[in-house]
Structures are given as structure tokens and as C-alpha cells.
Amino acid sequence: MTKQPYALAIHGGAGTILKSTMTPEKEAAYEEALRHAVAAGETVLQAGGSALDAVTASVCALEDEPLFNAGRGAVFTTAGKQEMDAAIMDGRNRDTGTVAGIFGPKNPVKLARLVMETTPHVCMIGEHVLELGRAAGLEFPDADYFFTQARWDALQDTLAMREKGEDDDDPARRHGTVGAVACDRMGNVAAATSTGGWTGKLPGRVGDTPMPGAGNFADNATCAVSGTGHGEIFIRWTAGAEIAARMRHLGETVVEAAEHVVMKDLKDNDGSGGVIAVDARGNLALPFNSEGMYRGWVREGDQPKVAIYRD
């Protein structure tokens, strides 16, 4: 017997291609990739699976898609390397696992889940966690698998602009992350997020994704959140935890709390980006303060939807 209808939301980053430079072909490719990622998570929920498995499935689909900045297609650091961050969190008990600055596994989110499920730790970096992934049988493709010419060219453009003292204000070049939040039929929520970070970030920089309560958070008592945008600001304003705190202490709905944090706390402090959030009743919120956010969502019984811009 169904306890309640499931709900799922995904994002492919707020580093949206400016509407002025979007083509119908590109738009169709992004929408198709988003639909595929929603379907990957919904298939799990439809079969009575957990929110945790659903967000893992959706984020893997997004990591495998070179259009998005995570896994295959991750952006490059100033040193021309790819360093990835990923996180997963279980709303039943706030169990969480994260990895930072890693390169190797096809699906960084699976390594984050391994940290959660097989170690006593929350966040791991370095060679040892990669060894754990290999030992557990995670896929480690050749390094070329992760390379995309578009991301490499974006790094060259960014470095050339910096050389001239110009700011790189193209969000499509700078931003990007993927994420998923879900509420299953048991009323359990979960969140997962994965990213290459920022084009031209310094080697060793860690973003908001692997910092629980910043870019990724889940607690059945409030909500599950996955963020995308200016990571440093998400960290300083503890974006995910703040949304949950507003629900818990002010009695706000997930929509009100997410809206406040994204449109006020983050926006007023140069924190461009957005979040996807779901509460334990399956209510969804997808606010963003940027030109767009690649996103998709579904509630049991409804048709899945995808969108990029505001309209």
C-alpha cells in the first residue's frame, strides 16, 4: 500500500547558456539529457525503491552526460586538471558521505556513497579513497573519458581573459553542477550532488558540494536540498542547512524557505545560483536567481517536466 506519492527533482547546474546564444538544437539536447536523468530516478521510485537509490541513479545519469559539469565533462582547474567533488545524504538519519578534489571514478557520487556506507567518515580526499573505490569495483575509465573539448576551450578563454585583467562573466563557462533530491513512498528524503567546480579554480579548491549543509543536505524532519552556483557563498551562508533551519524554527514551507535563501541570502551576497529541494511530503521547490537553471521534476501521477529558463 502506498504511503504517499513519490517526488523527485534534478538539476544540471545554474551555469546556463545565455538565452541569447542558445540554439534550438542545443536546447533540445539539454532537455533530452534532463528527461533521461529524471527517468533514471523515477524508475527507481516507481518500483518502490528508496530516495537514496533514486538520487544516486539520477546523478549517475547526469555525470555520464558530457553536457553537464560533473563526471564526464567536468571543468578544468588553472593547472589543466579535473578535480571533482560529490556528496550524498540520507534524510532518515543524516548519514552522509562526500569526496573532494578527486579524479578517477566514472561516477564520483558512487564514491561518496561508498564513504557513507563503508567508512566511519563523512568526507574523504586523496589516493586512499580512490583505492577504496577500485577495491569496491567502481568503474575507473581512462583519463580521456572525462575530457571534453568545450571545457578545455572554456579554460583557455578564461585564462586569456584573466591575462587581460577581464572578468569572466559568462555563467555557462564558469558554473555547473548536477544534483538530485527525492522523497520516496515511505516519506524518506535524500540528496546527491556532483560537480567539477569552477572553470579556472585553483588546484585544491573545494566547493560547497562536499560540505554538508552548504551544497547538499537531507533530513526527513525538514527537507533534502541540492545546490548549484557560487560555491563559496553557499558555504558561507550554509545554504542547505539554512533552508532546513527556516522550516524547523520559523515553520516555513520548503517553498518559502528555499525561496528566501536563494532570492535574498544568496542573491544579496553575490551568490548566483539556485537549489532544488523536497520535503518529506513530496513538496518541491526549484528557485534560482540566475538567468536559468537546467532542471527537471516529477511527482507520482504527474508527467515529468523539464525546463531551463524562467518561462
Q: Catalogue the active-site residues.
A: 177
Which string of b and e fits 57-86 if b means at least 16 CB within 10 Å? bbbbbbbbbbbbbbbbbbbbbeeeebbbbb
- Specify the stretch interacting with ligand ASP by CB under 6 A; choose among 26-34, 192-200, 261-269, 276-284: 192-200
Helix, strand, or coil here: 103? coil
Considering the rule CB under 6 A, would residue 73 count as an interface residue with ligand ASP? no
Among 158, 209, 220, 226, binds ligand ASP (CB under 6 A): 209
**Span 6-45, contacts to ligand ASP by CB under 6 A:** 13, 15
Nearest Cα residue to 226 out of 64, 41, 73, 77: 41
Which CB, 15 or 73, lies closer to ligand ASP? Answer: 15
In whole angstroms, give the CA distance from residue 19 to residue 181: 26
In whole angstroms, give the CA distance from residue 175 to residue 143: 22
Nearest Cα residue to 10 out of 241, 257, 303, 275: 275
Considering the rule CB under 6 A, would residue 246 count as an interface residue with ligand ASP? no
The owner of cell 521534476 is: 297
Which CB, 97 or 176, lies closer to ligand ASP? Answer: 176
Considering the rule CB under 6 A, would residue 296 count as an interface residue with ligand ASP? no
Considering the rule CB under 6 A, would residue 229 count as an interface residue with ligand ASP? yes
Task: Report how far apart, in Å, the C-alpha atoms of 166 and of each of 80, 157, 160, 161, 163 are.
Answer: 20, 11, 9, 5, 8
Considering the rule CB under 6 A, would residue 177 count as an interface residue with ligand ASP? yes
Among 151, 175, 185, 246, binds ligand ASP (CB under 6 A): 175
- Specify the stretch interacting with ligand ASP by CB under 6 A; choose among 31-39, 223-231, 246-254, 286-294: 223-231
Site residues (vs ligand ASP, CB under 6 A): 13, 15, 175-177, 195, 197-198, 207-209, 215, 228-229, 231, 273
